[in-house]
């Protein structure tokens, strides 16, 4: 069971890191492959996003290849079979935020279902 849990957490981590990659974010098709159809986010700004609205931001190049997001203290836990919760710090161009994501396993693979960012010192 530990191996299955580890694989689940690693799949969520891999998906999370892909979504932070500027090349991935530049491709709407790839971003949509990683987001659940019912995806929602509460951003560090307090704004609520869905899959459609997040595409306007990710495709707009908010993550520069010259200053990629730095991730630290990432950890994950399996909440239930096929559901993983990740938490980590993200530093992006001088802005630091706690990030929290829920990933769920679908028929087409692991998808981010929910994400929240909270600004941190």
Q: How far apart are CA 50 and CA 39, in angstroms?
A: 6
CA count, 13 A, side-chain hemisphere, 111: 17
**CATH number of the domain enclosing 54:** 3.10.450.50
pLDDT in tens, the chain (121 residues): 679 999 999 999 999 999 999 889 889 999 999 999 999 999 888 899 998 888 877 665 555 556 688 999 999 999 999 999 999 999 988 889 999 999 999 999 999 999 999 999 8
Range of the domain at 76: 2-119
Number of domains the chain contains: 1
Give the burial string for 24-47 (b: 16+ CB within 10 Å, else e). bbeeeeebbebbbeebbbebbeee
């Amino acid at each position: 069971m530990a191996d299955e849990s580890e694989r689940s957490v690693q799949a969520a981590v891999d998906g999370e890191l892909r979504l932070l990659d500027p090349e991935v974010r530049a491709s709407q098709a790839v971003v949509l492959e990683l987001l659940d159809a019912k995806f929602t986010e509460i951003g560090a700004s307090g704004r609520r996003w869905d899959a459609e609205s997040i595409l306007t931001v990710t495709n707009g190049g908010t993550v520069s290849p010259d200053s990629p997001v730095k991730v630290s203290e990432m950890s994950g836990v399996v909440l239930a079979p096929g559901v993983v919760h990740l938490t980590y710090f993200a530093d992006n161009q001088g802005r630091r935020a706690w990030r929290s994501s829920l990933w769920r396993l679908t028929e087409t693979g692991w998808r981010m279902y929910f994400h929240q960012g909270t600004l941190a010192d």
